[in-house]
A and B are shown apart, each in its own frame.
Chain A
Amino acid sequence: MSLDVDVDHRRGNFHLQARFTAAPGLTALFGRSGSGKTSLVSIVGGLIRPDRGRVSVDGQTLVDTGSGVFVKPHKRRIGYVFQDSRLFPHLSVRRNLLYGRWFARGSGGATADLGAVVELLGIGPLLERNPESLSGGEKQRVAIGRALLARPRLVLMDEPLASLDESRRAEILPYIERLRDEAGVPILYVSHSVAEVARLATTVVIMAEGKVMAVGPVQDILPLADANDGGAVLDATVSRHDETFHLSVLQSVAGELQVPRLNAAVGAPVRAYIRARDVMLSLKPPEDISALNVLAGRIASITATGGAQADIRLDCNGAVLMARLTAKSVDRLALAPGRPVYAVVKSVSFERS
């Protein structure tokens, strides 16, 4: 799959000018509200007609204002999961799920099977219910299933978790991960949550004020993502569980990490998100401290943020780690690029993955 977007769209004072190419897997459009993320997916989905530009999927041109091409939304075969699930209130969950199947017939692509999708999303017990009786999390799972069963070649998700509370979010995230890994449908995912992007994304597109600021693999891009809440993504595998203290031990290139017991099998790949503000630096191996995780590394760069703070980029055996310290500490420890340091990370600061 390939999605190529290059558009220019004005709405009042807002000017969207974006160009990016999405790779297979999950591509996250990340940015604050008002940065143009939703406008961009609406253009891809065909709900907004851009002033100028091109959109193409798998080589098929969906929009080209130059030659007057505009494929209507119902002919694009692009699934759309909205923030408000938009289930049809007069149809049962089953009939909601099957709605797109009438139209998907004969359009090629893998046969999306109701049984498989129901199993993937865990919505079997809901089939005969009516949408109004579902919880927010259940509604979103049904909405995802409905989009999948229309046999899309691309699924757009516009902040699908934004209207849900923390526990409901945790309930859906694993299903989106399964979707990314098992269903093989590329996803364009809009979010302003670093935690969601860190956990789900393969590729990140950072947007600000209608423009694409950066595009790349999540590990490289996320440290730049948010000035207020910077951090780094660390890929790891579960090496064992410590049942006595309810901990899981993860193995990553940067070293061993101990995190609260994960609900994942030994050997399973997980992704840890480490916030810059949760990392302390020490020049010597620290002893007698409460934090469990100490990673050895080398300072790659120091960026002064202008105020009292500085962002330190660490190279831990090839993995990137971010630390946010006061400028005073940087001065006191005489930190400089190339200097070996020890990063102290509090266990609790790991995003469960």
Chain B
Amino acid sequence: MTAEEWTAVRLSLLIATTATIFSLPLGIAIAWLLARGRFWGKSVLDTLVHLPLIMPPVVTGYLLLLSFGRRGPIGSFLADEFGIVFSFRWTGAALACAVMGFPLMVRAIRLSIEAVDQRLEAAAGTLGANRLWVFATITLPLCLPGILAGAILAFAKSMGEFGATITFVSNIPGETQTLPTLIYALTQVPGGDAAAMRLTLVSIAISMLALLGSELLAKRIGARRQTA
């Protein structure tokens, strides 16, 4: 594989990992709110979270460009106050991936939180644990498999994200060129077929490894629960 191809693989892994890790805490919080919260505007929040799933990725990418771009209201604020720049940077690609994977992540975690027996949480309360402790020691461990599934889904989505990424941060080699955008670029040039095929195989391998890894982890969580 060429250096350019390796760079794209490395960047893809970096972007997907960053997107997953940074969206996980927020994903858990939103999932908990949707599963357990009773507040005005809950269905609005639910819809907002699911929006990237139903909108065309290009639209999501364009909205990100409008709001997080250099001239966008959020983008200019973050750049001026904190020096954080998203547009045409790999961090922007991670943001696009996080947004696109978010509905999948929240859905999986929300289902697992809803499956946690609330009578166990009440029992923990009578033993002196406040709501935060109950969440940390009962709810969170019991829905760990769901959190894992949500994280894997978000990671896989990020590895394959194309539309929003290319719209928001373009396809800059060494900065925002990921596996899918490089494969796309290669298919546009004559003689790029062999390289595109190589990267396709790499992409399949990474997806399968991620899936296998999550299965192993899920088994270990299950095993620990058996011996615990």
Interface residues of A (CB under 8 A from B): 45-47, 72-80, 82, 84, 86, 88-92, 95, 99-100, 102-104, 107, 130, 146-147, 150
B227 and A130 contacting across the interface, CB-CB below 8 Å: yes
Give B135 Cβ to nearest chain A Cβ, in Å.
12
Chain A residues with Cβ below 8 Å from B126 are 45-47, 73-74, 76, 78-80, 147, 150
Say yes or no for B129: interface residue by CB 8 A criterion. yes
A86 and B120 contacting across the interface, CB-CB below 8 Å: yes
Say yes or no for B226: interface residue by CB 8 A criterion. yes
Say yes or no for B83: interface residue by CB 8 A criterion. no
Chain A residues with Cβ below 8 Å from B226 are 130
B228 and A91 contacting across the interface, CB-CB below 8 Å: yes
A90 and B123 contacting across the interface, CB-CB below 8 Å: no
Q: How far apart are the CA atoms of A75 and B119 in the complex, in Å?
A: 18
A90 and B127 contacting across the interface, CB-CB below 8 Å: no
Give B228 Cβ to nearest chain A Cβ, in Å.
5
The number of residues on chain B lying at the interface, defined by a beta carbon within 8 Å of a beta carbon of chain A, is 20
Chain A residues with Cβ below 8 Å from B141 are 90
Residue ID in chain B nearest A89 by CB atoms: B225
A150 in complex: contacting residue of B122, B128, B130, CB < 8 Å: B128
Chain A residues with Cβ below 8 Å from B192 are none
Q: Which has the most chain B C-beta neighbours within 10 Å: A46, A75, A91, A99?
A: A99
Contact with A along B86-128 (1 / 0, CB 8 A): 0000000000000000000000000000000001101111111
A147 and B120 contacting across the interface, CB-CB below 8 Å: no
B228 in complex: contacting residue of A73, A79, A92, A102, CB < 8 Å: A92
B125 in complex: contacting residue of A73, A90, A107, CB < 8 Å: A73
Residue ID in chain B nearest A84 by CB atoms: B119
Q: How far apart are the CA atoms of A321 and B53 in the complex, in Å?
A: 75
B128 in complex: contacting residue of A45, A88, A95, A104, CB < 8 Å: A104
Residue ID in chain A nearest B144 by CB atoms: A90
Q: How far apart are the CA atoms of A89 and B228 in the complex, in Å?
A: 9
B128 and A82 contacting across the interface, CB-CB below 8 Å: no
Give A131 Cβ to nearest chain B Cβ, in Å.
9
Give B106 Cβ to nearest chain A Cβ, in Å.
23
Q: How far apart are the CA atoms of A99 and B141 in the complex, in Å?
A: 14
